[in-house]
Amino acid sequence: MVIENEILTFFEWLLPSVRGMGALLTFVVALAVLTVLSTILAYIFAAARHGPFEAFYVVAKGIATGVDDLAHTSPRRTFAMARLAVTEAVRRKVLIAFVVFLAMLLFAGWFLDVQSDHPGRLYISFVLTATNYLVLLLALFLAAFSLPNDIKNRTIYTIVTKPVRSTEIVFGRVLGFTLVGTVLLAMMCLVSYVFVVRGLDHEHAVIAESLQPKRSRQGAVEGTTGETTLNSHHRHKFEVDNDGIGQTDVQMGHWHEVTAVTGAQGDTAYEVGPPLGELLARVPVYCHGPQPLRYLDRAGQSGTKGINVGDEWAYRDYIEGGTGARAIWSFDNVSEGSFPSGLPIEMTLGIFRTHKGNIEAVVRGELEVVNPETGYRSEPISFRPVEFEIYHLDVPRTLRVVDPATQLAREGDLFQDLVTDDGKTEVWIRCSEPGQYYGMARTDLYLLAAERPFLLNFIKGYISIWLQMVVVVCFGVMFSAFLTGAVAMMATLASIILGFFTDFVRGVYLGTIDPNATYTDKMVLGGGPIESFYRLITQKNVSIDLDPGLGSTVIKWMDLGLLHIMQVGTALVPDYSKLGTSNYVAYGFDIDPNLMGQQAATALAYVAAVTVAGYFFLKSREIAA
Amino acid sequence: MNRKSFYRKVAYYAAIALLLLPLSWLGQPPVVRVDENQNTRIERGGKLAELRDEYDLSQAQLGDIDPASETMRLATLGMNGVAANILWHKTIHYHKVKDWSNFMASVNQIIKLQPNFIKVWEFQAHNVSYNTSVEFDDYKYRYAWVKRGIEFLIDGARYNRDEPRLLAYTGHFFGQKFGRADEATQFRRLFSQDRDFHNEFSPHMVNIDDAIGQSGYPDNWLVSRLWYQRAQQVVDTRPDRPLRGESPLIFHSHPAKSRINYAIFNEKDGFHGERARKDWEKALEEWADEYGSRQIPTSYGHTLRLNELENVRAETERGKQELEQLAGATFKELEQEKKNKLKPEEVLALDTPPESRTTEQHQLAYGASAKIYVTETELAERAPSDKRREADRLAAAVTDLKVLDDRIGRYRSIVNYDYWKTRCEVEMTALADQARQLVSEADDLRDKAIIVSSSGQRGAKETYEEAWNAWAQLFKQHPDLLDDIMAEELVPSIQHYEEVLSQLDEKFPEDFILQEILVRHDDRYRLKRQLQEEQAAAAAQSPGSQSPPSTGATPEPGNAPAPDATKGKPAEGSPATPHLKRRSPMTRGRMTRRHRRRRAAMMRRPRKKMAHPKRNHSPRIRHPRNNQADLIRFSG
């Protein structure tokens, strides 16, 4: 799976380190800046209304009341408000969203590519993405229209006339809508899981005519080979040993166990088990450290980059085969306790050929495990990777180890000889065939620590969606505290769109703002919103500059203003794409707890800040009223 | 106030209802009615239904109806173009980041949004079969992706029933992608045994049983031919589905070319004998009889048949003779009269052989040729007055025939009609079959390391030599083929023969019987000879030095061994490779690259303009250089 940005440990991410100032400090600084700015803004508004001297007291009183409200918020009253929000949501027929979701699942089979190489990925991606969008929309509508409707219908007065604090109103709404969303999400999760498991489940039978004895080179019968029936757009070939146990080849991302069963009359039948290997949650241990992946060039000299073979996507670097070029992954915390029977290594390497070679043969490679301190290395282990597929290789516990001083090999132990005392080791990869290249990125090779239940990972994926939903609810409630329903909805929607397209907006911003940006530097061509619109209606190619003149100058200035606003907006809203984890679930990788921790902390920070902002907005509205 | 609002609402509803009436009338569907006598009568329906019917725009007429596609188009509320555009960008992104599952899913979604946009099917099928398949290192994965592109096209043909371009494109993929890729051997093998894939389109689209090759399995070239034939059938029977974007001349040549390719690849796969010859016979029949006699629409506004050239020429000759009789004079006489009026230097230029003319004489001769050219009308003018009308009519007819002759010649040269005809005629002979079989056997023996004959088992060396004799005989009969890919394909086997000889410590014969093939098609051999000649020249220039000893590959200029009777007589004292000597090393480099390009072009469509520009204007196959003298000059 492609992971372009390294996942830091939770504390590396949270606290200041060599990698940056840390999320906590960033949050504190941002909070301080926003507090100061909003106080100044509040003072300006109050000054306009009450005069400069009284404004000071109004603002100070507001803050003091806020602190008091926060300190004296009653959980009982908050839950009562939450119950009210739930009742209101149920009255607004929120279950329709679930019905829509069921309808989508009913017809999903029409749109999903059932002949895909990996149908599991598509099924999982579909249910997670559909749920994500649907739940966010639901949260948006619930949160954005609730308070404005109450204010419009004046039902809010039945609440505010009671001894209820504004914090309790805001927290209660957030809590109530979150509860409703959580229940819906839980139902969707359950239905989705059943949909995925049932959708991918299928059976094969064995074609009797295809059964052939499998013979060794000496002619001895080693088992049976055969073919299964065509089901779900594929069929498998299989091999069963003389003990009657075997398995099929991998097709469409899965395989089956095949067992021979002897009947009452002594006849042998073959049973094909359920699909395996598709719904997984691999726990990868990625390389780590200041230089997690480094390269040796063809002369064996160290470097940080490999060769670019002309691929437009510069994710992978390549090493030349048949030379001294190597790719070296450095691992930390490798211990006997984690990997008692050796190192299970999985890799997905790219292959680039400069000549055809033997078309039917896979480009061979060699792997060595190296102790970074002593230089002891394992004897090369040969492997034949398949491009774009995960190749599994087990480095055994006992293996031949080469002494760097004498270059002599002896029997050795993986952990004693090739792993340092503090758990460091390196994996060296070499392409064996001259003229051919291997391509690799940091996460293309990992140690397989464990395989966790798919269901658990699936739930983790839903927790990510839940976090996004909570943030959207908070934004909706905040905007609805001072805007009318429709406008609050539009504002929340804008925050979602900005959050999902943060990279794109940043690209437009950088491509337009930087006057020295070359064509290749520009991430997104075509200028800002006004320029894009102008190009659209005049059918002007994005690579051609606008004709110089007053018109283009005005367009550029207007865009500049809008893009600055958009840039500030993207800095304020959460990056929803980073809160998503559907790819991990779809590609069969366990969602890293560190990543989940980071997402939860980010969401919590937004919830706290936005809810407090919502409270002040509501408070200001009450004051105005 | 409320009453006013009520009236306004009523007025709105009434207006909506009124507007719906004409819409309903316009959109009324056609209805089939059965009267008491069980006669069916179709009522045409509203104007919209009528127009849909007239232009075949209803989905049922365009192709299969897919509920998913219809739903998606409805769900996008007419914005399916925009949605397709976004998905197209996503497809490009997924292709860039090599996310193949999502790439294919996006492609499928695009097509559900735009099922009747033919170019989308073509583009994305090519994207999948050609651009995506090559991203995979394992040939089995490549095959799977090529197949996926073809399946995509087949789906396209279902959504767009009777669309000739899609049907022909499918045939193209079956033939060219499976048959000409680097992995052609593997692809052909995998395809022939991929019965699940066969069942996807057979028998409801084309019948795979009609494409069983000599191996007993379906052959990709024969399947390709069936798809081309289906496309052809649509063009022939559906005037409302005209052929767009491809010349009819090329389009109609595909089925026969697929048949020829099948015969070629069968031989490559080692199938020889009576059945192989029969395949060539069928190929000739399809090429010369079926394709040759097909009416081909031309850009001149009339149709022509490729195989009517001979008749046209005979008729032209007859017409000319009749005209001469009517006119009481001959073309030659008139030409001589005109020639007599030329200036002396023009006459001299004309009489000088072209290769001996100076630049000025070339220009003079060009102008003089135009001056002495006699038209049919000029000859007709000589006819006596009572026969003048008849002569004019005949002159016009002959002129028309000459124009037709020229046009057929041009069209034939575009598809290399004569070359393929000759190739089929040659390949179906017992001699060609024997020659190929011997080379194939010799290669097998070499692979098995059976080098020389022993205890009744024939060895590679003897088999090769027997094969070269057979090939020499064949080239003697058809010297035009010396320049052809057919001859070029022998080079690796000749190199194997050289290896066999070196294993036996024998020298490659200086008077090798097929030396001309090496001269024309083997870069390595040409360079070797060049080097030897340069060394010899250098040795000759240095006083007192002796000529370097011959390595056995090249006869020394002027010192060629005497040819035997079967090989003809060499040109006395002529250098072995006179044309090579004239080139500088740099020019040789350019020639090599050009040669490679030409070879690549010939692999795609052999014997097109690049090989022999002169042939494009002449239907004759014989090349001035390719004659028996050339063959024997280099054979000793």
Distance of CA B456 to the CA centre of its chain: 44
**Which run of H or E residues covers position B427?**
helix B417-427
Bridge partner list, A351: A438
pLDDT of res. A527:
83
Of the candidate ranges A259-273, B326-340, B593-607, the one whose mean pLDDT is the lowest: B593-607
Q: Which of A3, A106, A111 is the mutation pick for testing B, counting most B CBs within 10 A?
A: A111
Query: Which pLDDT belongs to residue B634?
Result: 33
A207-249 pLDDT, tens per residue? 999 999 998 888 888 899 999 999 988 999 999 999 999 999 9
Question: Which pLDDT score, from 0 to 100, does residue A262 have?
Answer: 86
What is the pLDDT confidence band of residue A415, given thresholds at 50, 70 and 90?
Answer: very high
Helical axes B184-192 vs B139-159, angle rounded to 10°: 60
Question: In which band, very low, low, confident or very high, does the pLDDT at A96 lie, cut at 50, 70 and 90?
Answer: confident
* Contact state of B68 with A111 under an 8 Å Cβ cutoff: yes
pLDDT at B582 over 50: no
Residues forming a β-bridge with B487: none
Residue range A390-410, pLDDT digits in tens? 999 999 999 999 999 999 999
Nearest partner of A285 among A336, A337, A338, judged by Cα = A338
Q: Is A257 helix (H, G, I), strand (E, B) or coil?
A: strand
DSSP tag of A112: S
Q: What is the pLDDT of residue B619?
A: 36
* Mean pLDDT for the stretch of residues B218-238: 95
Interhelix angle for B220-237 vs B164-172, to 10°? 170
B63: confidence class by pLDDT, cuts 50, 70, 90: low
pLDDT value at A38 more than 70: yes
What is residue B116's predicted lDDT score, i.e. its pLDDT?
87
Put simply, the answer to whether B136 touches A387 (Cβ < 8 Å) is yes
Identify from B138, B139, B190, B198 which residue to disrupt to test chain A contact, counting A C-beta atoms within 10 A and taking the largest count: B138
Judged against a pLDDT cut of 80, whether residue B224 lies above it is answered with: yes
Q: Which residues contact B22 (CB under 8 A, 6 or more apart)?
A: none
- Which pLDDT tens digit goes with each residue over B472-484? 999 888 888 888 7
SS (H, E, C) A456-521: HHHHHHHHHHHHHHHHHHHHHHHHHCCCCHHHHHHHHHHHHHHHHCHHHHHHHHHHHHCCCCCCCC
d(CA A438, CA B546): 54
Cβ of residue B76 closer than 8 Å to a chain A Cβ? no
CA distance B99 to chain A (A): 9
| DSSP state string for A325-394 | -EEEEEE-S--TTT-TTEEEEEE--EEEESS---TTSPPPEEEEEE-TTT--EEPPEEE---TTS-EEEE
The whole-angstrom separation of Cα A572 and Cα A609 is 11
In this predicted structure, the answer to whether residue B208 has a pLDDT above a threshold of 70 is yes
Could you tell me if A4 lies within 8 Å of chain B, comparing CB atoms? no
Q: Which of B97, B101, B137 sits opposite A116 (nearest CB)?
A: B101
Q: How close does chain A come to B139, measured CA to CA in Å?
A: 7
The DSSP bridge partners found for residue B33 are B41
pLDDT at A599: 94
> Taking the CB of residue B115, how many other CB atoms lie within 10 A of it?
26
Number of neighbouring beta carbons within 10 Å of residue A231: 13
Task: For residues A127-147, give the mean pLDDT.
Answer: 91
What's the gap in Å between the CA of A350 and the closest CA on chain B?
9
Range with the lowest mean pLDDT among A93-107, B465-479, B530-544? Answer: B530-544
**What is the structure's pLDDT at B627?**
37
Per-range mean pLDDT, top range of A114-118, B74-78, B115-119:
B115-119
Task: Say if CB A286 and CB A347 are below 8 A apart.
Answer: no
**Token pair of A135, please?**
């739940």
At B528, the pLDDT band (50, 70, 90 cuts) reads confident
From residue B618, alpha-carbon distances to B79, B164, B398, B401 in Å are 56, 32, 19, 16
Q: Which of A419, A436, A282, A440 is nearest to A343 (CA)?
A: A419
pLDDT tens digits, B280-321 = 999 999 999 999 999 999 999 999 999 999 999 999 999 999
Higher pLDDT, A20 or B327: B327
A618, HSE (Cβ side, Cα atoms, 13 Å): 29
- Cβ distance A387 to B96 less than 8 Å, yes or no, reads no
Residues A236 and A251 sit within 8 Å (Cβ to Cβ) = yes
SS (H, E, C) A313-333: CCCCEEEECCCCCEEEEEECC
Helix (H, G, I), strand (E, B) or coil at A221: strand
Residue B146 neighbours by CB under 8 Å, 6+ apart:
B129, B133, B173, B177, B178, B181, B187
Across the interface, which of B68, B109, B137 has its CB nearest the CB of A387?
B137
The pLDDT value recorded for residue A107 is: 82
The gap from C-alpha B160 to its chain's centroid, in whole angstroms, comes to 27
Q: Which pLDDT value is given to residue B615? A: 37
Alpha carbons within 13 angstroms on the beta-carbon side of residue B288 total: 16
pLDDT single digits (tens) A435-494 = 999 999 999 999 999 999 999 999 999 999 999 999 999 999 999 988 888 999 999 999
| Mean pLDDT across B602-629 | 38
- Give percent of chain B above pLDDT 90: 52
Contact A388 B72 (CB under 8 A): no
Within 8 A of B137 by CB-CB distance, chain A residues are 351, 353, 362-363, 386-387
Q: In which residue are the tokens 């006339």 written?
A: A161
CB pair distance less than 8 Å for B104 and A356:
no
User: Quick check: A521 pLDDT over 80?
Assistant: no
- State the smallest CA–CA distance between residue B107 and chain A in angstroms: 10
> Between B118-126 and B164-172, two packed helices, what is the crossing angle to 10 degrees?
10
CA distance B68 to chain A (A): 5
pLDDT of residue A522: 61
Please choose, from the candidates A445, A455, A406, the residue with its C-alpha nearest in 3D space to the C-alpha of residue A319: A445
Confidence of residue B213 (pLDDT cuts 50, 70, 90): very high
- Structural element, H or E, at residue A411: strand A409-413
Q: Any chain B CB within 8 A of the CB of A113? A: yes
Classify B579 as helix, strand or coil: helix
Using an 8 Å CB-CB cutoff, list chain B residues near A503: none
| Of B131-145, B511-525, B613-627, highest mean pLDDT | B131-145
CA–CA separation, A219 vs B508, rounded Å?
A: 44
B68 Cβ under 8 Å from any chain A Cβ:
yes
pLDDT band with cut points at 50, 70 and 90 for residue B628: very low
> What per-residue confidence (pLDDT) applies to B564?
39
Q: What is the pLDDT of residues A548-571, one digit of tens each?
A: 889 889 998 898 888 888 888 888
Mean pLDDT of chain A, nearest integer: 89
CB distance A2–B67 less than 8 Å? no
Q: How confident is the model at residue B584 (pLDDT cuts 50, 70, 90)?
A: very low
Cα distances (angstroms) measured from residue B211 to each of B148, B215, B224, B357, B587: 20, 11, 9, 57, 47
* Residues of chain B contacting A122 with CB distance shorter than 8 Å: 101-102, 105
In eight-state DSSP terms, residue B175 is I
Chain A residues within an 8 Å CB radius of B136: 387-388
Whether residue A360 lies within 8 A of chain B, CB to CB, comes out as yes
CB A228 within 8 A of CB A236: yes
Long-range contact set of residues B379-385: C-beta below 8 Å, sequence gap at least 24: B379/B323, B379/B324, B379/B327, B379/B329, B379/B331, B379/B334, B380/B323, B380/B326, B380/B327, B381/B327, B382/B327, B382/B328, B382/B329, B382/B334, B383/B326, B383/B327, B383/B328, B384/B328
Q: Does A210 touch chain B (CB under 8 A)?
A: no
Q: Do A387 and B138 touch (CB under 8 A)?
A: yes
pLDDT value at position B61? 60
How many CA within 13 A on the CB side of residue B19?
Answer: 6
Beta bridge partners of A293: A329
DSSP string, B222-285: HHHHHHHHHHHHHHHH-TTS---SS-HHHHHHHHHHHHHHHHHHHHHTT--SHHHHHHHHHHHI
| Spatial contact of B213 and B266, defined as CB atoms under 8 Å apart | yes
Model confidence at B592: pLDDT above 60: no
Whether the CB-CB separation of B311 and B367 falls below 8 Å is answered with no
Nearest beta carbon to residue B105 from set A107, A116, A230: A116
Full strand arrangement of the beta sheet holding A350-353: A317-320, A436-440, A350-353
Among A110, A115, A359, whose Cβ lies nearest the Cβ of B183? A359
CA angle B211, B213, B218 (to 5 degrees): 50
As a whole number, mean pLDDT of residues B98-108 equals: 91
CA-to-CA distance for A476 and A463, rounded, in angstroms?
A: 20
Residue A596: the pLDDT is 94
Spatial CA neighbour of B625 closest among B485, B520, B489: B520
- Per-residue pLDDT at A16: 86
Hey, is the C-beta of A26 within 8 angstroms of any chain B C-beta?
no
Question: In the predicted model, what is the mean pLDDT of chain B?
Answer: 82
Ramachandran region, residue A427 (left: φ > 0; alpha: ψ -120 to 50; beta: rest): beta
What residues in A contact B99, CB-CB < 8 Å? 2
pTM to 2 decimal places: 0.80
Q: Which pLDDT tens digit goes with each residue over A587-609?
A: 999 999 999 999 999 999 999 99
The beta-strand segments (E) located in B408-515 are none
Nearest Cα to Cα of residue B623 among B611, B636, B635? B611
pLDDT one-digit tens code per residue, B383-442: 999 999 999 999 999 999 999 999 999 999 999 999 899 999 999 999 999 999 999 999
pLDDT classification of A515: cutoffs 50, 70, 90: low
Contacts of A201 (CB under 8 A, 6+ apart): A274, A275
Taking 80 as the threshold, does the pLDDT of residue B542 lie above it? no
A112, A360, A388 ranked by CB distance to B186: nearest: A360
pLDDT in tens, A309-364: 988 888 999 999 999 999 999 999 899 999 999 999 999 999 999 998 899 999 99
- From B192's Cα to the closest Cα of chain A, the distance in A is 17
